[in-house]
Amino acid sequence: MSTRLSDRQIKLISVLLILIIAIFWWLGTINSTTEMTGKTYRAGLYQIKLQLKPSKPKVGNNLIRISLLDNFGQVITDANISAIAIMPGMGSMPEMRAPAKMTHEGKGLYSGSFDLSMIGAWPLTIKINSVKNGSAELFFDLKTSREGLRLENSTPASGNPSQADTKNDGTKEAAESTPVSTPVSTLDANGFALTGKYLLKISLGPDSPRVGRNKIQIEVKSIAGKPIRDAKIRALVQFHADNKTASDKVMINLKATSDGIYVGHFKLAKAGNWPLAVDIETPELGHADLVFNMNTNNKSLKLTTATPTGISHYTCSMHPSVKSKKPGTCPICSMPLTVVTKKEVSTGIIHISAQRRQLIGVTTQKVQRLRFIKTIRAAGRITYNESKMTDV
């Protein structure tokens, strides 16, 4: 009996081997699409990685891919993501927009494409929203002349126990808090508000404030999730009859009952709008405050303003003598005030966003050593030096 394989059997085995190799290669590409390398950005309750293809944006079609996880590393598959690159209008040229329609490919990977119509700076805004983790925004500096993206601003990270960013080499580094240009007005999924370097959660008893005696509980944590003890906390409510006139101010005496928990009682004399203001201070984390809209007709509190993280003050690009603790417009030229961070104050380095650089026409170039020659041409007339003239 011969054990020699026929030519037909050899061909069949070869085909099967090729198919097996192709299947393994295909499975490998599927797994690789869900694992993106690069810097991890944090915003709100999200961890985000981004990729551009090509890595240096070009005029025409560009691909953007986003890997999305929550703060505990779990894949998020139900998010709505919008991405848009905008070239601000200049002079008679109108604003140009390049939106990307993002779709979920699976396993927390989203992709879309945007079309850039000309060379230049196209600041990129990415907005993320999901039922469980809420909303977050990231703002990137994107240019056709430069590889990759540069993060300029984002919704401050919150609710993360470790508050660490992942480097490209897999090690951990402390997350640098990113300032925002507008007051924070949202709560995370656990009901905490980020204000300065604190996380605060306000609870009322009963849930709906009422005329008469009410109870308030304030839970205070650091951004890393550690309870804050021995903090100086003040709270007060004021009756606003028409949202303009303040009266009937009520200070709330707060006492610490356990680690990071402060409890107090207050009495409302009449029904209506009673805004609640809370400020907190510790030697280690500094000062922060926040204001809630509280009304006897509403069951829940609504956060209206909070101290943004890392902000020193607001100023005008044209009139730096203008300084304000709150965002708004310049009283001299009516331009929107810009953020000056505490880091900028300490280092003396001022950062200007890509959109503002585009609007005021700032261009940059690598420093070069060149011979500097300036020729000045002017028209003139030769005449007598009258101081040297003498009459004889």
Find the farthest-apart pair of alpha carbons in the chain and give their distance in angstroms, rounded: 143
pLDDT tens digit sequence for 341-350: 766 676 666 6
The answer, yes or no, to whether residue 106 has pLDDT greater than 70, is yes
Closest CA to 73 of 174, 12, 162: 162
> Are the C-beta atoms of 221 and 202 separated by less than 8 Å?
no
Query: If you average pLDDT over each of 152-161, 214-223, 277-286, which comes out highest?
Result: 214-223
Total-model pTM: 0.45
Please list, in sequence order, all residues whose beta carbon lies within 8 angstroms of the beta carbon of residue 166, skipping any fewer than 6 positions away. 39, 40, 172
Q: How do residues 323-356 score in pLDDT, each as one tens digit?
A: 777 667 777 777 777 777 766 676 666 666 666 6
pLDDT tens-digit profile of 20-57?
Answer: 887 766 655 444 444 677 788 988 889 999 999 999 99
The pLDDT of 284-295, averaged and rounded, is 82
Tokens of 255: 């006492």
How confident is the model at residue 247, as a pLDDT?
60
DSSP, collapsed to helix, strand or coil, labels residue 113 as strand
* pLDDT classification of 128: cutoffs 50, 70, 90: very high
Residue 156, Cβ density class (10 Å: 0-12 exposed, 13-18 middle, ≥19 buried)? buried
What is the per-residue pLDDT for 298? 80
Predicted pLDDT of residue 217 = 92
Q: Give the pLDDT score at 52.
A: 92
Q: What is the mean pLDDT of the chain?
A: 78
User: If pLDDT is split at 50, 70 and 90, which confidence band does 172 have?
Assistant: very low
* pLDDT for position 351: 66
CA dihedral (83, 84, 85, 86) positive or negative: negative
Asked if the model's pLDDT at residue 86 lies above 60, the reply is: yes
In the predicted model, is pLDDT for residue 65 greater than 90?
yes
Evaluate if residue 11 carries a pLDDT over 80.
Answer: no
Place of tokens 């109108």: 94
Torsion angle (degrees, nearest 10) of CA 337, 341, 347, 353: -60
Q: Among 11-20, 150-159, 191-200, 201-210, which is the least confidently predicted range?
A: 150-159
**pLDDT tens-digit profile of 131-151?**
888 888 888 888 888 888 888
Q: Count the helices and strands in the chain (H runs, E runs).
A: 3, 24
C-alpha 229, offset from chain centre:
29
Predicted local confidence at residue 170, as pLDDT: 38
